[in-house]
Structure 1
Amino acid sequence: MPRPEPHPLALFSLKPHNPRAHDVVAHPSNIYLHSTLPDGTLALDVGFNIRSQSRNTLATLGRNDTDIIVEGSSIGRVQCSFEIDLDSRVVMLYDRSNAQTTQVSGDNATPFEHGRLRRVVVQKGLNTIIGMGGVGCDLVRFELIWHQGPIDTVEKVKSQEGIPCGAEENPRLARTVDEAPTVLPSQRMTRIHTPGERKLRMRYKNVGPPLGSGQFGIVHKCIDVDSGKFMAVKVLTRPGNLQEDWREELHHTLKREVETLSNISHPHIVDYIASQGWDGQDVEIFMGLKEGTLKSLVESGGGLPTLVADSVFPQMLQALDCLAYNGIVHRDVKPENILYVSQPGGQYQFQLGDFGLCNRVVDAATFAGSRMYMAPEMFRKGGQTSKLDVWSLFVTMLWTLDAGRFRQRSNQFKSVEDAQEAVLHAASNVDTVSKIQEMAAVNPKERASAAQMLVKYYNGVGLSTPRNRVPALTSSPFPAITAARAPALAIPALTTRTTQTKPRGFRENRNIFATAAQYRIEKARDPFSAQKAPRRLQDLRLNLDKS
């Protein structure tokens, strides 16, 4: 007797769509998979209810020694299989026939194509009709009736035990020699010229709601239907009434982002996969998918701020040094643009992302960035160097550690002056970040580079810049403050608190002393620029961008 409803371990059921498919359902060898769908149709359940010979294989279909028997002279011994991708845990359909007579159809179908591996993702709303056998691949047709949505299906797969990670492919799934199809294909004509390799378009399906949106587009989580891997895609739609402006923005901003990412490979810079649509209405940029941002991690309480900071700080220094070595300035380093992936043992791998405002140092001149994280020289219309990013990383560490209650107070800053005075105050007086105060010098010439910080605190581990090209840090940007502190016996960790005696004169209005000390340094080094420099950053009174 068939089950009155689908098996609880089944992910989907194969509903027959033509008489040959009904014959498959009625085959004596397939009776053990019978269940009744809500409309009364007899179907075959596929999922963890089948004890397939390969643990990552849900079911095989074919003429002989398969989980589901499909008879016919045009059906291969192993015609096709439903398998689980061990990384993403999505279900994929593989065409295992030598004659390539398996195909998908229906709404939102992504059929097998020449030049691609013969595998596609199958899920609710995607590739829901499969056919096999004959030239038209339609002698036997089934509809996939899914019992849950795509996200719930992945979670159900993850919850099942006995799915090994990194398992080797089952040798039984190797391609077999099939019988000839029922109808011979048309004669193939020999071409005089063989075309070059055709660039295949990325085929994907969005998963869930958008991950975020920005000035240039929307970011979605998606799945590559040909590989089964999850990705992030940034979709940029051209405004209908701004074609010329769009082209200029496209080629000077978005192209720059893509070219930068495609030319750099670094473990702490977001991985670029591909882009397409530059000649059409929508431009799509594909990047590796991460779990979230530094901002979301800290605000959700997913990790202790001190442990997170000790991990993100050296990794971002390495990323910034890589950019600086390649002559690139990011110009928008902040918690929202630092992505992470969880690692074993409660560790995190962080990657710098969103290169929409990046530029080559030799070309960078426009006002760009998020105001609270901008370096002072950006507001003075001075030269833009990689030191911009160093300042932004220092502010990011203030926010991450909530040093001097910086994160709590950040929503109360009414001007850039307020924000930068808070930065200077913390650099001089808050123990958790005063150890890296070289990154917060107002004068970029006195500000430490990412390479110098890697050498000073991490013995140069992770450097992209050759060690012999990293100048030594000769002086502190805050000599008046530093002189009042006892020298450290050893290089402390970023988040290690130390108790140091401060003179009474520095307990009140410490930000004024820090700013005054910095002003004296700049005046001594460059009297003309110092005359234009603000004593307390009065010329930086710009409203913070709350958007």
Structure 2
Amino acid sequence: MTSSKRNPYTIFSLVPLNQRAREVIADPENQHLTSTQANGIVVLDIGFHIRSRTQDTLATLGRGDDADIYVSGSMVSKIQCSFEIETESNVIMLYDRSYGQTTQVFGDDAVPFEHGRSRKVVVLDRVNTIIGMGGVARNLVQFKLRWHFDPLSMMNTVKDWKRALIPPVYKPRNARTIDESDTILGSRRVTRPHTATQGSLIMRYSILSIIGSGAFGQVHRAVDMDSGKLMAVKLLTPPGNRSEEALAGWRQSRYYSLKREVEAISHLSHPHIVEYIDSQGWGDEDGRVEIFMALKEGSLESLCLSGATFSKTALFNQMILALCYLADKDIIHRDIKPENILYVTAEYGHKFQLGDFGVCNATYQARTVIGTQLYMAPEVARGGEQTPKADVWSLFVTMVWTFDCQGFREKSRQFVNNADIYKAIDSIATSEDCVASIKEMAVQDPRGRASALDMLQKCRNSVAHGAPTPMDVDQIATPAFRRTPERTPEPGPVHQPRRPNLYDDDDDDDNNNNREEGRGLRRSARLATQRASLLSPDRPSMAKNKGPWWGERRWS
């Protein structure tokens, strides 16, 4: 019997669009999932009240006994399609499970199944709102999806309901009087693409909300329509004034800057640098460029302003590792600030990642004055030679802002020139305990300023000598940084006494020179090995301790 009220755990309803769809809703085997809308139309409710066979499956449709929703007809597979939850993003995806690939989405908003792509696609409010199945045209049975949540609310609701104990609505065990003959083979899981690769296919996505905007474009929160993964999309569009002069200026200032960002980040791979996914649109006539990056929860700026607690020690150490990696690649970020440090929450605390490489540059190319003035190193502001040490200065100012030393956040609004900034930074570096042990990062002359590797070495040396480290393993021990047990060194070859020189003094001098050269080569190799070891994310960077290496005060 049809209920007049919708089940409270319904995510969306299937509204019939043709006679075959109405027959599906009227079938006695589906009555436990129906409700009546205000306009009198009977619909099928899809949600967590359906007891499907797998945890992340909302419902399966087909003519088989195992289908959650029975759809009669010989042109329908035993399991025709399914609505499933993408595990990480909590978006709903439609899977085509039919043997003949006879499921499709329709409408002006459709992002359909395509040859060469996996047989799954995201369904959302206002995107892929009509589904059809059965027959050559895949439209024997057609439903419209009526959503009861907007996309962001839906994802949050799904996340909450996945953890809840929801009473199921069981399917009645009605015997069928007609068993239609099979004209289509039983269903199989068809999700793989049937062409070589998906690399040549364009990224299909739907924008969920805007994250921010600036001189280098807009950044949106979006979902990949083919994988269901959430991502950040940076959009760059040419100016409305399409004059040649305006376009030339736009290309010089923004287009090539964004292209430089892609060229930089596409070759980077580090746990504390935001992951690059793909980009497209380069060279297109409309000038629209899209860059796809992994989506994070928020920025350091938003985290601090929200009043949330987090480990400043983790922040500092993870960013130092990122800067060491960039310096090793001869890349200067040139715009390190709280807004460009992103984070995700993990079981051990927060994982911070450096993002927005829109103004980065190779060391040999960096000459222009660009970045954010408050965090800009003195040599950058003066237009002088730039090195990776410029990023070290910016990280120090970022830590000062994070701690809000001497009310730095509010005071910075009143700075009128660079001299005001440098005076405040010098005062904080020499008087504030929380940054006193990293004050070598705040030296105005880059020749006397510590490098990222210097700061990392300082931390490693404290570990080697048994001193406390800045990393609190109980709070922020990431899997990539966990300490590995030390191996007992294998015994080396037995020392052989040096044989006396039986030749003249000239030969002895040559031998001495060869030995000195050998020592130099071995020393260089040893230093190179140590440097590579320092930069390795697998090297232990933390230990249980009583306090940080820079003083008695712990960064919380």
Q: Does TM, normalized by the shorter one, top 0.5?
A: yes
Question: Aligned partners of 2:547, 2:449: CA distance in 1, in Å?
Answer: 19
CA contact (8 A) 1:217 1:236 kept: yes
Q: Which residue is 1:247 aligned to? A: 251
Change (3 A) 1:414 1:308: farther
Are 1:274 and 2:278 counterparts?
yes
Q: Which residue is 1:326 aligned to? A: 329
| Pairwise CA distance, 1:90 | 1.0
| Pairwise CA distance, 1:198 | 6.3
Q: Which residue is 2:35 aligned to? A: 35
Question: Aligned partners of 1:422, 1:86: CA distance in 2, in Å?
Answer: 48
Change (3 A) 1:459 1:104: farther
| Pairwise CA distance, 1:2 | 1.1
| Pairwise CA distance, 1:468 | 3.8
Question: Aligned partners of 1:80, 1:19: CA distance in 2, in Å?
Answer: 19
Counterpart of 2:553 in structure 1: which amino acid? R
Q: After the TM superposition, which of the residue ranges 418-427 and 244-253 deviates more from structure 2?
A: 244-253
Q: Specify the SS of the correspondent of 1:35.
A: strand
> Which of 363, 371, 374 is equivalent to 1:372?
374
Counterpart of 2:139 in structure 1: which amino acid? D
CA deviations over 1:73-107 (Å, ceiling 9, x no partner): 11111100001111111111000011100000123
Counterpart of 2:331 in structure 1: which amino acid? I
CA contact (8 A) 1:374 1:391 kept: yes
Change (3 A) 1:375 1:401: same
RMSD, aligned α-carbons: 2.4
Change (3 A) 1:198 1:427: closer
Q: Which residue is 2:301 aligned to? A: 295
CA contact (8 A) 2:232 2:293 kept: yes
CA contact (8 A) 2:327 2:388 kept: yes
CA deviations over 1:155-176 (Å, ceiling 9, x no partner): 2212214589xxxxxxxxxxxx
Question: Aligned partners of 2:60, 2:397: CA distance in 1, in Å?
Answer: 56
Counterpart of 1:299 in structure 2: which amino acid? L
Q: Which residue is 2:8 aligned to? A: 8
Q: Which residue is 2:398 aligned to? A: 396
Q: Specify the SS of the correspondent of 1:207.
A: strand
Q: Specify the SS of the correspondent of 1:111.
A: coil
Question: Aligned partners of 2:440, 2:529: CA distance in 1, in Å?
Answer: 19
Counterpart of 1:10 in structure 2: which amino acid? T
Q: Which residue is 2:262 aligned to? A: 258
TM-score, with length taken from structure 1 = 0.78
Counterpart of 2:308 in structure 1: which amino acid? G
TM alignment of 1:394-543, pairs within 5 A:
394-459=396-461, 466=528, 468-469=530-531, 492-493=548-549, 496-497=552-553
Q: Which structure 1 segments of 5+ residues have no match?
A: 165-177, 182-193, 473-489, 499-547
Q: Specify the SS of the correspondent of 1:284.
A: strand
Q: Specify the SS of the correspondent of 1:382.
A: coil
Q: Which residue is 1:338 aligned to? A: 341
CA deviations over 1:221-263 (Å, ceiling 9, x no partner): 1111111111111111111332222333455311110011110
CA deviations over 1:352-386 (Å, ceiling 9, x no partner): 11100000001111111111111111233221100
In the alignment of these two chains, the number of paired residues is 449
% same residue: 51
Counterpart of 2:95 in structure 1: which amino acid? Y
Q: Which residue is 1:225 aligned to? A: 225
Q: Which residue is 2:93 aligned to? A: 92
Q: Specify the SS of the correspondent of 1:51.
A: coil
CA contact (8 A) 2:301 2:338 kept: yes
CA contact (8 A) 2:99 2:184 kept: no
| Pairwise CA distance, 1:179 | 3.7
Question: Aligned partners of 2:529, 2:134: CA distance in 1, in Å?
Answer: 63
Change (3 A) 1:198 1:423: closer
Are 1:308 and 2:311 counterparts?
yes
Question: Aligned partners of 1:286, 1:105: CA distance in 2, in Å?
Answer: 26
Q: Specify the SS of the correspondent of 1:259.
A: helix
Counterpart of 2:404 in structure 1: which amino acid? D
Q: Specify the SS of the correspondent of 2:250.
A: helix
| Pairwise CA distance, 1:55 | 1.7
CA contact (8 A) 2:273 2:355 kept: yes
CA deviations over 1:38-87 (Å, ceiling 9, x no partner): 21111111111211111211110011120111111111111000011111
Change (3 A) 1:491 1:497: closer
Change (3 A) 1:495 1:132: farther
TM alignment of 1:179-258, pairs within 5 A:
179-180=183-184, 199-208=200-209, 210-240=210-240, 241=242, 242-250=246-254, 252-258=256-262
CA contact (8 A) 1:205 1:222 kept: yes
Q: Which structure 2 segments of 5+ residues have no match?
A: 166-181, 186-194, 464-479, 482-526, 535-545
Are 1:124 and 2:125 counterparts?
yes
Counterpart of 1:432 in structure 2: which amino acid? C
Counterpart of 2:263 in structure 1: which amino acid? E
CA contact (8 A) 1:309 1:495 kept: no
TM-score, with length taken from structure 2 = 0.77
Q: Specify the SS of the correspondent of 1:432.
A: helix
Are 1:139 and 2:140 counterparts?
yes
Are 1:21 and 2:77 counterparts?
no
Counterpart of 1:217 in structure 2: which amino acid? G
